[in-house]
Amino acid sequence: MWSTRGSGSTATGSALAEPRSAQAAARSASKLRRIFDGDLWWSFRCSPVTVAAALVALGIIVGALLAPWIAPHDPFNPASLSLLDASNPPAWLHGGSWTFPLGTDNQGRDILSAILYGSRLSLLVGFSAVLLALLLGVALGLLAGWRGGMTDAIIMRIADVELSFPAILIALLIDGVARGVLPRDAQSEIASSVLIAAIALSFWVQYARAVRASTLVERNKEYVQAARVIGVRPVTIVLGHLLPNVLGPVLVIATVNLALAILTEATLSFLGVGLPPTQPSLGTLIRNGNDYLFSGDWWISLFPGLVLAALILSVNLLGDWLRDAFNPKLR
């Protein structure tokens, strides 16, 4: 993941550098060289599996981002759908055509386009959920570690209760309660927000515990005491001094969690309590196709399933690599 971001900044960096002064260009070039000379890049290059995983993840992410431009059909426009095209097999099988490379579903939607748009939603929900969980967890962790006492006890007991249940169960429950509380007609519109909130609320505990642990260590160090002595406001100390120092482990948890968040979204959607069929994510697509498995239309659920598996596997591999690369014990 790092490397893709690194190579991305290469392109923009060199494009922007031209109008600027030569000095700035030289500086950004040396910065780049440092990235490519560094340990991280080296350990990345030396692991072919990681490179392959990065390429697969990059391919799926780019495909998802560019979906409106590269998808051969618009699966959400009912006017472009024709029932005559329904249940076409993939192009290489008898009866398939290259108009629909991976075939069509029971309503004549192109599977390839549906996958491109679906992975867009899967990634969106996954990223947003991890981001929200991270914000929530870091904020509560800092609060618990800094304030201590009653605040700490309350936050951490809630965390303990959550931690004794698997995340998927908690996400399911929050999702189920939201269904009961929210009005029915609004549900499909805000389904993705509910889903993001449900996943984030079941994931924040890990961040909070990690941040609280490092805050407890950092708050007694001299730089914090010095800041207190010269009268820096507590808010500034926590956000300006503590936060940057406790963020390291959190970012690693976030990468490892991304695959889990995407998986949770897909699972909830597959169970029918996630994204509705009108805005299908990969999980919803698999659920739709599951009903037609027995009529022999295996491609409707298999292809989205393969893309989902490839995405999760590659993000998992990247997360593992990143965790090892940042672990000084393994160097």
* Interface with other proteins (CB under 8 A): 157, 160-161, 164-166, 168-169, 172-173, 175-177, 179-181, 259, 263, 266-267, 270-273, 286, 290, 293-294, 296, 298, 301-302, 305, 308-309, 312-313, 316-317
User: Closest CB to other proteins among 143 and 315?
Assistant: 315
Q: Could you say which DSSP state residue 104 is in?
A: B
Burial class of residue 65 in the structure, from the number of CB atoms within 10 Å of its CB (0-12 exposed, 13-18 middle, 19+ buried): middle
Tokens of 325: 């690369």
Residue 279 CA to residue 291 CA, distance in Å, equals 18
What one-character-per-residue DSSP string does 272-330 give? TSSS-TTS--HHHHHHHHHTTGGGT-THHHHHHHHHHHHHHHHHHHHHHHHHHHT-GGG
Judged by beta carbon, residue 177 or residue 239, the one nearer other proteins is 177
Cα–Cα distance, 226 to 5 (Å, whole number) = 37
Residue spans of alpha helices (H) in the chain: 2-17, 22-37, 39-45, 48-65, 67-70, 111-147, 149-163, 167-181, 191-218, 222-229, 234-236, 243-270, 282-290, 299-325
219: its two tokens: 């708050």
249 CB contacts (<8 Å, ≥6 apart)? 210, 214
Residue nearer to other proteins on the CB measure, 59 or 166: 166
Least CB distance to other proteins at residue 312 (A): 5
Work out how close the CB of 158 gets to other proteins at its nearest, in angstroms, rounded to a whole number.
8
Q: Give the C-alpha separation, 178 to 165, whole Å.
A: 19
Q: How far is the CB of 303 from other proteins (least distance, A)?
A: 12
Our CB check for other proteins shows the closer of 252 and 256 to be 256
DSSP state of 71: -
Instruction: Give me the least distance between CB of 177 and other proteins, in Å please.
Output: 6
* Min CB(92)–other proteins separation in Å: 18
Q: Which is nearer to other proteins, 69 or 294 (CB)?
A: 294
Q: Which of 206, 163, 171, 189 is nearest to 276 (CA)?
A: 189
Between 206 and 316, whose beta carbon lies closer to other proteins? 316
Compare residues 60 and 71 and give the one whose CB is closer to other proteins: 60
Least separation in angstroms between CB 248 and other proteins:
24
**In whole angstroms, how close is the CB of 102 to other proteins at the nearest point?**
16
Which is nearer to other proteins, 138 or 312 (by Cβ)? 312
The phi and psi torsions of 104 (rounded to 5 degrees) equal -130, 165
CB of 273 to other proteins, least distance (A): 6
